Amino acid sequence: MTTSVQALRPHVLAIGALGGSGTRAVAEAFEKLGYRHGPALNRSRDCLAFTYLFVRTGWMGTPLPAPAERLAAMRAIAQTGDHRLAPPLDALTDAIVERSGPAGSAPFMIKEPNSHMFADAILESWPDAGFLFVHRHPLDMAFSANLNQLKRWGPDMGIAPERFDSVPAAQLEVWIRAYKAQMERQVRYPGRTAMLDYERFVETPSAILGEVWSALGGGADPDRLDRACQGVFVPQSRGRWREADLSQFTAAQREFCADHGWL
């Protein structure tokens, strides 16, 4: 099966995860399949327009515009490069290292890990959008040095780090809450959202890429999938949890991981 760029489904693809979950490699595979990636990216190739509309919102004042209004701005920026709600990104950040032209009517992608916190709003506001949640092994993520989402979204998730025996335990709780939210999302939006297990992806990249894209309503022939996945590699941090002290996690956390085959 072949797929023309203009016929890509979903038309808009949002990719989110906890930080360090491998979204860059996944997004680069979808970029090779035809999705526009941009319009302004940082070193991690995150979509900075989304970052400044939804994450680093201090410049906007209060009250913040509703998510639907900010998403309208995000779409306009992606498609035309401009919107009245947001000044040029250059006025807000010097983190831009890569740019691309407006997507126009072409399919485009928003790769920003924090987007999982706004995935429901994306799916409600954009009927032609799909959302992909990328995840690493939960215990590997628990020992990640990337604490940004724990600090930023922990309170919104009802997670107070001081209530846990360790930072990794609080990190694991963020992972579990985000994973459960995605499982519920897949029930509410069948055929429009899916999960990509990064551990499986690095083992058989093209097969897993094909699975998740099919779950989102798209697809491509095996040769295109193979080409899209060239360069995918196994991260060195994989399996680091095996040498860690797991007693710092709560009994409920260990039970959750065991029940889902991660322990």
Give the domain CATH number at 125.
Answer: 3.40.50.300
Domain around 122: 5-35+107-259
Say which range, 79-83, 84-88, 123-127, 219-223, has the weakest mean pLDDT: 84-88
Alpha helices by DSSP H, listed for 115-204, are: 119-125, 138-142, 148-153, 167-188, 198-203
> For the chain, what is the domain count?
1
pLDDT tier at 165 (50, 70, 90 boundaries)?
confident
Position 24 in a domain: yes
Give the Cα separation of 137 and 132 in Å (integer). Answer: 16
Question: Which pLDDT does position 2 carry in this prediction?
Answer: 47
Chain segment 206-229, per-residue pLDDT in tens: 999 999 999 999 988 999 999 999
Position 75 in a domain: no
**Nearest Cα residue to 23 out of 9, 13, 34:** 13
Position 52 in a domain: no
Give the Cα separation of 249 and 253 in Å (integer). Answer: 6
Position 99 in a domain: no
Please give the backbone phi and psi of residue 12, each rounded to the nearest 5 degrees, phi first. -120, 130
Average pLDDT, the chain: 92
pLDDT surpassing 50 at residue 243: yes
Position 116 in a domain: yes
Position 47 in a domain: no
Question: Which pLDDT does position 19 carry in this prediction?
Answer: 80
pLDDT surpassing 80 at residue 201: yes
Position 61 in a domain: no
Percent of the chain past pLDDT 90, that is, above it, reads 79
Say which range, 51-55, 83-87, 116-120, 243-247, has the weakest mean pLDDT: 83-87
Q: How many CA atoms lie within 13 A of 162 on its CB side?
A: 1
